[in-house]
Structure 1
């Protein structure tokens, strides 16, 4: 009896239904049951590749429109060392925590964003 079931990328023993592990056999790798004496020699490569679709993230700051009417201040961009940056403050934590300051580099070719 060399048939076994595949469930959720685990292989299960056809005799006792426990999960099989991979162990070193006489001729190479084997699927081995730790509970009973079932052994199945691995004779072919078993692979499965799944590419998940990534979730599109919403811009929590409001996108490009959020930066249209903001002030600028003296702040050095960590990416291009430009000396001015746009900024906005948003309460991201509880009310007893300080506001988070978000910056966007004033250099149009950089547009780096960071926070403090």
Structure 2
């Protein structure tokens, strides 16, 4: 959004016509400004990804309680370590993260 420096009104956009380039103009006073035909990018900056720390570490799962009622979707083994988190609102059930003791496959149940 551009504003008129003389009267403070919001400038309107006018499409290019014949030899006249596109411009912004003030509807109340004779002020107008030309638009640059192209935007120039002066420099490019590379994005660096930050290292993300895991929410559940291997130490957490090695010290976690174990159950023999979890069925691993990867190998079918029934024993797994589990950790419960409240990831949603309080009236929703907890999210349970499992890790199979046989193949170390991790999965979750909501």
TM-score in terms of structure 2 length: 0.51
Contact 2:97–2:106, Cα closer than 8 Å, also in 1: no
Aligned-pair CA distance for 1:40: 1.5
The structure with more radius of gyration:
2
Cα distance between partner residues in 2 of 1:112 and 1:25: 60
Q: Are residues 14 and 89 of structure 1, via their aligned partners in 2, closer, same or farther at CA, if it must alter by over 3 Å?
A: same
Aligned-pair CA distance for 1:56: 7.1
TM-score in terms of structure 1 length: 0.49
Cα distance between partner residues in 2 of 1:44 and 1:102: 55
Unaligned runs of 5+ in 1: 1-9
Cα distance between partner residues in 1 of 2:108 and 2:28: 55
1:3 aligned partner:
none
Answer yes or no: is 1:68 the counterpart of 2:65. Answer: no
How many residues are treated as equivalent by the alignment? 99
5 Å-filtered alignment, 1:1-116, equals 10-26=1-17, 27-46=20-39, 59=54, 61-70=55-64, 71=66, 73-76=70-73, 81-83=74-76, 86-92=81-87, 93-94=89-90, 96-104=91-99, 107=103, 114-116=108-110
| RMSD over aligned Cα atoms | 4.0
Partner secondary structure for residue 89 of structure 1 = strand
